[in-house]
Structure 1
Amino acid sequence: MSFASEDIRKLQSRMDEVEQKIRDLTLEQGANQQQIKSYETEIEGLARQIEKHRMSENRQEQVQRRIMATEDAIARLKKVQEGLGQLFRLQLEKRIQEIFSQILFTPYVPRLNENYELMLEDTMAGQPTSVAASTGENQILSLSFIGAIIDRIREWSKGKSGILMPESSTFPIVMDSPFGSLDEIYRRQVARAIPVLANQLVVLVTKTQWRGEVAEEMADRVGHQYVLTYYSPKPDCQEDAIALGSGQYPLVRLSSNLFEYTEIIEVERQG
């Protein structure tokens, strides 16, 4: 009987140990599962970060490709711009030379450098030599330059250059006293040349500049003609007038109200 009780106690003790072990294992299993969940959550977070970095790298690569494509496009556009600029300058120089040679009789040739600076060269000595331009030659150079620019742009606007521009564009020229520093021969040459430089030409001249050869060359090309009459408040002003067509038009008159002003009078066209 005593042996049976002792065995029961041993078995009970063993069972208690096993149950405690089971509880310990259960607690450990719960802790392990919690740790596993924590690790899984951390793994998911790390996976998201990895994916985010991969996407960021992809975006950076895409941005880098776009930057490279943009830089390549800029380089190509610069080459096109340089080519067109060089072509325009050479065409402009050629047209300047044509206009200049039509007006001037000297053997000088205008040159246009890369900075669009005009200079004259004497080519008769075999070796081109730079020469200083006189006042009249500088004036003709300026007229040739302006006329050539208008002419080139007018040609480009027609689409001959391949550059898209408005087809109906007109480019007028306004000239103030273009004959002032020229002698009689060059006055006639300039008066003959400038009307064909632009679709519309406005010329401001004095009474003496419109005389003789200028009037002879330009009269048939005039669409509208106006006289600017100056009214002077000075009581001793010397009045002046100009004969145009069949009429006399005042240039300087005494102001009746003591104010200084200018009146624009249209010249009546004959016929």
Structure 2
Amino acid sequence: MILKQVIIENFRQYYGQNTIEFAHGSSKNVTVIHGENGSGKTALLTALIWGFYGRELKLPNPESIFNNKAVQENTNNKNDLITAVQIKFEHNDYEYELRRMLYAKFDSEHNMLNLPKNKTINQKVELTKRNVATNQSTKIRDISYEINRILPYKLHTFFFFDGERMDHLGKKEAYSEIRDSIKRMMGLELFDNSIEHLSKTIIKLRDEVSKNVKSELSDKYLRINQLEDEKIKKKQQLTETRQELSAAQSELKSIENALRNGEETRTFQVTRDHLVESIKETKNAFDEKLNELRILLSRSSHLAFSTLPMKRFQRIASTNDQDSIEKLIHPDLIPFLMSKGKCLCGQELETTSIASLEKVQQEVLNLSSSKNEMDQLYFRLSGWEVARSHFYTEIRRLVSEREELRENLRGLEDELREIEERMKASSRNIENSSNLIERESSIRTAIVKAEAAIESLLRSIEEISKEEELLNKEVSKLTKAEERQLKLQLALESATKVKNTLIGLLKLRESQVKTELEEKIKLTYSQLLRKDYPISLTDNYELLVSDVNGGSIGLSQGESQITSLAFIGAIVDLTREYKDKEKGHALDEDLKLGNIFPLVMDSPFGALDADHRSRVAINLPKLSDQIVVIVSTSQWRGEVDEAINHRIGKSYKLLNHTNEGTGEYTEIMEVM
């Protein structure tokens, strides 16, 4: 990313619009901004950070973001006020224009500006990017995502920093921050995130695969086989029982024919046959009445519970105004009577009666929709009352007819037993006839048992078939689940292999990054620091500075500042090398490791002696394609100016003005 321009408008000390064009490139890549204490050096650095991220200002009175002079002028002029930071920058063949604003509305009623709090919800942000090759512009919707993709907020303190920040990076408490930053900038975080995501996916896949579908499926198949064996046995029993029933029925017919042909039993048997047929017909009629009763109950049983709602409705209806029009007057009744000229009683309608009827008819027509609905409900409930009465009448009739058939059946069965006893008595001395009668009785008993057994077997077979059907559906689902489990097992194996591969690649990449970064840090450190301290990078990316004997040493503030600068410079230089290597390769932007980062520094020479200031000034332009230095006159003059002057591409001065009426404000002036 390369900064092109920043326009600061009514931001903190900066009154009106102030513009800075930034230098970049290989030769004159330094932009220097001179400013004395209190002129707004830190506010300038903060303006860049606020423009990119819109976060809370890390300054005294962080809520005071509007310029005081502008606030006073716009209040006097009763105008609205805007504070804004506009940044133009380049990144990967695109030009970006970012504008972040806060609006203050003038309140005429209270004669004041309503200054909003510096919250992202109050800010208006616009971001467009233009393809340099095609000149096509696009308005970015997810601005936060786009900015953090280019320069993540977590990394901004490594590229927009002051002397105090640089000193902090050389201390042990910053090591974890250093480690995370290196991983993000060197593309190692992509490996970490991928491994973490795969680990979560693997846990979910294991949970799914661990479900014992095979065991459940095996149990279902075992039960289906048991049911099939049971069903075969039942069907075999059914066949045998039907054969026994058929044989018994055939034998019964033979016996009945023999008894009809017997001289002693003929008369009894004919009477007996008639009784058996009558009993059969009576039983059928008895069963038919039961069926009619079931149908009636299934269709109209709700009428048995209609008494309570009808009584409640009648009670509600009875509370209506007694002077209101009668509920049951149909809108067509009065016109019908008037067309006939006669009352319902048959008398001729008089003029006064007609006038009264017309008035009543108008009231009928003016009835509210709710009353019409009540009338309709009343008519419907009246029909329910009739239906309920008919329902109970039908129940009583069917029950009565069924009881009558039951009594007839008992009488017929009694007659049948009496005839059978008389047959036995008359045939007692005739051995053949007596045996036939006894045999017939036992066969009839066997037939009844066989019919009951057949009915029971049919029910059992039907229940088995239903259970089989349900089990087969469950088996179908489990089979699909088993197929899914096999696919999940393959996915689990693949995810595990990919994870292990990524872990291996991460180790290789970390080793490579550590080696390359350590070499860069050593080189940069040796150029910046006067003392020849050995420096190394641990596996946890901790910077270790030791003496010639390998013992740890305590660094001064200036040495800590140079250590931090060496670390930052090494990272920026290394990512720049990666970018050069990636040229000509078609890579997705998210996979690119190379990048160009600007270094924007406030007071980088403050804690350094003359020799170290000279060393830093000589080597600073080599660390990045773009260096922005915000510095006071005392820090700049002498060895710094002499060492870096030939690399300056742009130079500016912060002019601080004091006005008794409007207070202090700063403007930015370019120095030629």
**TM-score bracket for the superposition, by shorter chain length:** 0.7 to 0.9
Q: Over residues 94-114 of structure 1, what are the superposed CA-to-partner deviations in whole Å (9 max), with x where a residue is unaligned? A: 101101112334221222223
2:525 aligned to which of 100, 106, 110: 100
Given that 1:158 and 1:165 are in contact with CA atoms closer than 8 Å, whether structure 2 keeps it comes out as no
Given that 2:517 and 2:574 are in contact with CA atoms closer than 8 Å, whether structure 1 keeps it comes out as yes
1:137 aligns with 2:559: yes
Matched residue SS, 1:208: helix
Match of 1:264 in 2: 668
How far apart, CA to CA, are the structure 2 residues paired with 1:231 and 1:82?
57
What is the total number of aligned residue pairs between the two structures?
Answer: 240
Letter in 1 for 2:559: E
Q: Over residues 124-170 of structure 1, what are the superposed CA-to-partner deviations in whole Å (9 max), with x where a residue is unaligned? A: xxx4232222333222212111111111122233445x983177x42
Match of 2:579 in 1: 157
Match of 1:110 in 2: 535
Pairs within 5 Å for 1:85-96: 85-96=510-521
Match of 1:250 in 2: none
Letter in 2 for 1:77: L
Kindly state the Cα deviation for residue 74 of structure 1 after the two structures are TM-superposed.
3.4
How far apart, CA to CA, are the structure 2 residues paired with 1:138 and 1:36?
91
Match of 1:237 in 2: none
How far apart, CA to CA, are the structure 1 residues paired with 2:464 and 2:558?
94
Of stretches 110-119 and 198-207 in structure 1, the one that deviates more from structure 2 is 110-119
Match of 2:456 in 1: 31
Given that 2:599 and 2:626 are in contact with CA atoms closer than 8 Å, whether structure 1 keeps it comes out as yes
- Give structure 2 stretches of 5+ with no counterpart: 1-261, 265-429
How far apart, CA to CA, are the structure 1 residues paired with 2:668 and 2:660?
17
Given that 1:122 and 1:129 are in contact with CA atoms closer than 8 Å, whether structure 2 keeps it comes out as yes
Pairs within 5 Å for 1:59-74: 59=484, 62-63=487-488, 66-67=491-492, 69-74=494-499
Given that 1:100 and 1:141 are in contact with CA atoms closer than 8 Å, whether structure 2 keeps it comes out as yes
Q: Over residues 67-108 of structure 1, what are the superposed CA-to-partner deviations in whole Å (9 max), with x where a residue is unaligned? A: 454455334433433432332222112101101112334221
Given that 1:188 and 1:217 are in contact with CA atoms closer than 8 Å, whether structure 2 keeps it comes out as yes
Q: Over residues 169-193 of structure 1, what are the superposed CA-to-partner deviations in whole Å (9 max), with x where a residue is unaligned? A: 4210011222223333322221110
Given that 1:96 and 1:145 are in contact with CA atoms closer than 8 Å, whether structure 2 keeps it comes out as yes
TM-score calculated relative to the size of structure 2? 0.32
Given that 1:110 and 1:119 are in contact with CA atoms closer than 8 Å, whether structure 2 keeps it comes out as yes
Pairs within 5 Å for 1:219-234: 219-232=645-658
Kindly state the Cα deviation for residue 30 of structure 1 after the two structures are TM-superposed.
2.3
How far apart, CA to CA, are the structure 1 residues paired with 2:529 and 2:499?
43
Matched residue SS, 2:650: coil
How far apart, CA to CA, are the structure 1 residues paired with 2:579 and 2:444?
102
Kindly state the Cα deviation for residue 47 of structure 1 after the two structures are TM-superposed.
4.1
Match of 1:18 in 2: 443
Of stretches 111-120 and 147-156 in structure 1, the one that deviates more from structure 2 is 111-120
How far apart, CA to CA, are the structure 2 residues paired with 1:165 and 1:159?
10
1:209 aligned to which of 608, 626, 635: 635
Matched residue SS, 1:92: helix
Q: Percent same amino acid among aligned pairs?
A: 34
1:187 aligns with 2:613: yes
Letter in 2 for 1:156: Y
Letter in 2 for 1:96: I
1:197 aligns with 2:623: yes
Match of 2:208 in 1: none
Matched residue SS, 1:231: strand
Letter in 2 for 1:226: Y
* C-alpha RMSD of the superposition: 3.1
Matched residue SS, 2:544: strand
Matched residue SS, 1:119: strand
Kindly state the Cα deviation for residue 44 of structure 1 after the two structures are TM-superposed.
3.1
Letter in 1 for 2:505: V
Kindly state the Cα deviation for residue 122 of structure 1 after the two structures are TM-superposed.
2.5
Of stretches 197-206 and 76-85 in structure 1, the one that deviates more from structure 2 is 76-85
Given that 2:572 and 2:596 are in contact with CA atoms closer than 8 Å, whether structure 1 keeps it comes out as no
How far apart, CA to CA, are the structure 2 residues paired with 1:197 and 1:92?
13
Given that 1:179 and 1:187 are in contact with CA atoms closer than 8 Å, whether structure 2 keeps it comes out as yes
Match of 2:604 in 1: 178
Pair 170,99 (structure 1): closer, same or farther in 2 beyond 3 Å: same
- Give structure 1 stretches of 5+ with no counterpart: 233-254
Given that 1:180 and 1:209 are in contact with CA atoms closer than 8 Å, whether structure 2 keeps it comes out as yes
Matched residue SS, 1:129: coil
Larger RCO of the pair (alpha carbons < 8 Å, separation 6+): 2
How far apart, CA to CA, are the structure 2 residues paired with 1:257 and 1:198?
44
Matched residue SS, 1:229: strand
Matched residue SS, 1:87: helix
Matched residue SS, 1:133: coil
Larger Rg: 2
How far apart, CA to CA, are the structure 1 residues paired with 2:656 and 2:537?
41
Letter in 1 for 2:625: N
| Structure 1 runs of 4+ with >6 Å offset | none
How far apart, CA to CA, are the structure 1 residues paired with 2:471 and 2:496?
37
Higher helix share: 2
